[in-house]
Amino acid sequence: MAKLKIVKLGDDTLRKVCRPVDKITPRILTLLDDMAETMRAAEGVGLAAPQVGVLRRVVVVEVEPGNLIELINPKIIAYSGTQEGSEGCLSIPGKYGTVTRPMHVTVRALNRHGETFDITGSEFLARAFCHEIDHLDGKLYIDIATDIESN
């Protein structure tokens, strides 16, 4: 595994729509592993492939240490409720903003074995899913945040 460079706000990669993964290759598996290592080293709870300069629909999320969730071609298929809370981003260091997100989301994705699965997250996990999946469409939390502050 390798720690990857996290691209920062201003890099055009963050504003591009990512391509779907057609086939799970050794390169995609390495990307998943490297993204998890990079996210943990940066003390983040989620990371999307465009944040490491790769325009593919790949996300890793780990809101509970030791419970890594890998999502390939994720799509939100259901959501309900609302929550408002603070968000930051590894690609926008030192800034935070208040964002309204669904309270519950269900995501359909492929796992590293190419199997389709659904996963439902609530509260912070739902927020992380939405934040990372937005990255795959070139959207950043600052596009919808209010009260953006620096720490």
**CA angle, corner 121, sides to 116 and 123, nearest 5?**
165
Is 43 tagged catalytic?
no
CATH code of 12-150, in short, is 3.90.45.10
Structure confidence by residue, pLDDT tens digits, 14-45: 999 999 999 999 999 999 999 999 999 999 99
pLDDT at 2: 87
C-beta separation of 57 from 74 below 8 A:
yes
Structure confidence by residue, pLDDT tens digits, 66-120: 999 999 999 999 999 999 999 999 999 999 999 999 999 999 999 999 999 999 9
Given the residues 62, 70, 87, 132, the one annotated as active site:
132
pLDDT at 73: 98
pLDDT at 151: 76
Does 51 score more than 80 pLDDT?
yes
Per DSSP, the three-state class of 122 is strand
Residue 42 CA to residue 21 CA, distance in Å, equals 25
Which candidate, 73, 127, 134, places its Cα nearest to that of 105? Answer: 127
Does 1 score more than 90 pLDDT?
no
Indicate the helix (H) or strand (E) that contains 45: none
Which whole number is the average pLDDT over 48-70?
97
pTM above 0.85, yes or no: yes
**Complete edge-to-edge strand list for the sheet that includes strand 58-61:** 46-48, 58-61, 69-80, 104-110, 116-122
